[in-house]
Chain A
Amino acid sequence: MRSTTWCATEVQYSASKGTLRCAFCRYTWTEQSLDQIMGLSDGIADLVGTTVSSAAVDIEDGAALITIECTGCGAEVIIDTDHNLSARCHWCKHTLSINNRVPSGAVPDGILPFSVTKEQAMRSIQAFVDERKTFAHPAFAESFKAENVMGFYMPYMTVDGNVVVRLDGAGEILRRTVRVNDKQTEYHADEYAVMRELSMVVDDLIVETSSAKVDIHSTTSTSNIINAVLPFDVKNIVRFNSNFLGSEYTSERRDMDVDAAEAYAAGHFMTLSRAGAAPTLGNYNRGVRWESEQVNIKGSRWVAVLLPVWLYGFVETRGSRQITHYIAVNGRTGATMGSVPINRRKAHLVAWGTAAIVSAVTWPIAIVVLVLGG
């Protein structure tokens, strides 16, 4: 690959072409595939211990990438100062001030550049909102402008795993049913102690590494939406180059290391094993209750990457509580998911108004049936 460092003072990224271009000499290139450079698809079954990619090093002072803490929502946003001297927070749209610079985290090993353009993302978000207009909160409907969508890179780690998962629980097989009376039935069944142990090779599990967004059960935001646009075509991740951020995109700071992210990866390994064990449980027609899950991570390989997301945010104020609603578009596949705040008064009116109308018809009939049957 040719370097442009001797002439390039401004390198631009084209999402529609997926290429970097030197504005001075017009040389166009793409970065190397991380999968090929690091051999990330090879030898997963032989992994032993924890392998962390070596490219994750601290950003040096004075580098083009700086991290700024948003005074609006507290997010830590990375911008490329070679291209971008003023930027807004991708979560709350607050204007970022360089006075609030904080220590940077670590540069990632790889980045999956945007291929979905802003115009395409706007169309996807507009279509998503158009399908949800009827019961949308009035403040949301009035302020919604698809052009306010912002592109940013979320920090994740891709994880390859060589794991063994053991599941223990109980299962029941129905043998016969006995009608006790007109209202009650007894189910006679055999109970079994059920154990399954699965060896698995997992390729490119994606684990979030921004602690503020990893809590999907938050009552103050709908950050579960962002992970719902996964997966990404992670085999196309290329070596990190800050020019992919350029003037259009920002990045969320990674604040979770492998130790912190490992529990989430283990949870995903258990999810995979539970799904993998399901076909072996066909005999248990009364179901299985898994009581214990133990994952043995024999070997894992971690690579820090940035993945592209288009995001639209809206803050709903409900009494003293604020809930941030997000609509996200996968920056590679265009997959769209979101949370649209509800006009609760209208929704209540329609739901319970319909209930009242139906009841007004059915209740008199029910009373007649009771009287005649009685």
Chain B
Amino acid sequence: MNDSEGSGGIAFFLFALGPGTGIAIWMWIQAKYRNKSARYKPETTVAHTITNVVQEDKFTRKIVSRSRSITGRNESDHHERARVSGVVKG
């Protein structure tokens, strides 16, 4: 990395610091006052026992990506439903 690129990065950080501070304050106020994401959390509060887990992991292909993580990553968003979901009984 040469000097001009280094100073460019520092300048960008300094330009973004002010607006970033404003956005952070606004989001903090929204989160503290409105609690829009508050919800029932059954995954941490409901007694449940997992009695059997079947795992299958099949290699499909090698990929090259410019993204740090898989597109549409959602394994941590437990309460968000997948693109396809269904219920059967019996």
Contact = CB atoms under 8 A, between A and B. Distances in A.
Contacts of B47: 202-204
Contacts of B56: 193-196
A173 to B, nearest CB: 9
Contacts of B43: 271-272, 274-275
A238 to B, nearest CB: 20
A182 B5 CA distance: 9
Chain A residues touching B, majority SS? mixed
A295 B1 contact: no
Contacts, number: 290
A192 B19 CA distance: 40
A49 interface: yes
Given A204-B47, A278-B75, A189 B62 contact: yes
Contact of A293 (B35, B69, B85): B85
Given A224-B36, A293-B82, A358-B18, A369 B46 contact: no
- B17, B32, B42 interface centre (most CB from chain A within 10 Å): B42
A354 B17 CA distance: 11
Contact of B29 (A224, A291, A342, A356): A342
Contact of B83 (A192, A291, A298): A291
A359 B73 contact: no
Given A216-B39, A224-B36, A350-B25, A292 B85 contact: yes
A87 interface: no
Nearest to B42: A268
Contacts of B74: 288-290
Interface residues of A, number: 102
Given A50-B89, A225-B35, A271 B79 contact: yes
B46 to A, nearest CB: 5
B76 to A, nearest CB: 7
Given A227-B39, A230-B40, A351-B26, A201 B49 contact: yes
A26 interface: no
Contacts of A356: 18, 22
Contacts of A341: 33
A149 interface: no
A267 B64 CA distance: 34
Contact of B71 (A194, A225, A289): A289
Interface stretch (A64-72, A239-247, A360-368): A360-368
A266 B88 CA distance: 10
Contacts of A257: none
Contacts of B60: 170, 191-193
Contacts of B18: 355-360, 362-363
A199 B53 CA distance: 7
A287 B73 contact: yes
Nearest to B47: A203
A74 interface: no
Contacts of B85: 267, 270, 292-295
Contact of B14 (A171, A337, A350, A363): A363
A277 B43 CA distance: 11
A179 to B, nearest CB: 11
17 contacts: A186-B64, A187-B66, A190-B61, A196-B55, A201-B51, A263-B87, A268-B40, A281-B75, A288-B73, A289-B73, A293-B81, A293-B82, A352-B22, A359-B18, A373-B8, A373-B10, A374-B7
Interface of A: 45, 49-50, 132, 135-136, 167, 169-172, 175, 182, 184-206, 216, 222, 224-225, 227-228, 230-231, 262-263, 266-268, 270-272, 274-278, 280-281, 283-284, 286-298, 337-342, 347-348, 350-352, 354-360, 362-363, 365-367, 369-370, 372-374
Interface of B: 1, 3-8, 10-12, 14-15, 17-23, 25-26, 29-30, 32-36, 38-76, 78-79, 81-90
Closest 10 CB pairs of A and B: A373-B7, A355-B22, A359-B18, A366-B14, A228-B38, A287-B73, A275-B43, A288-B75, A358-B18, A195-B56
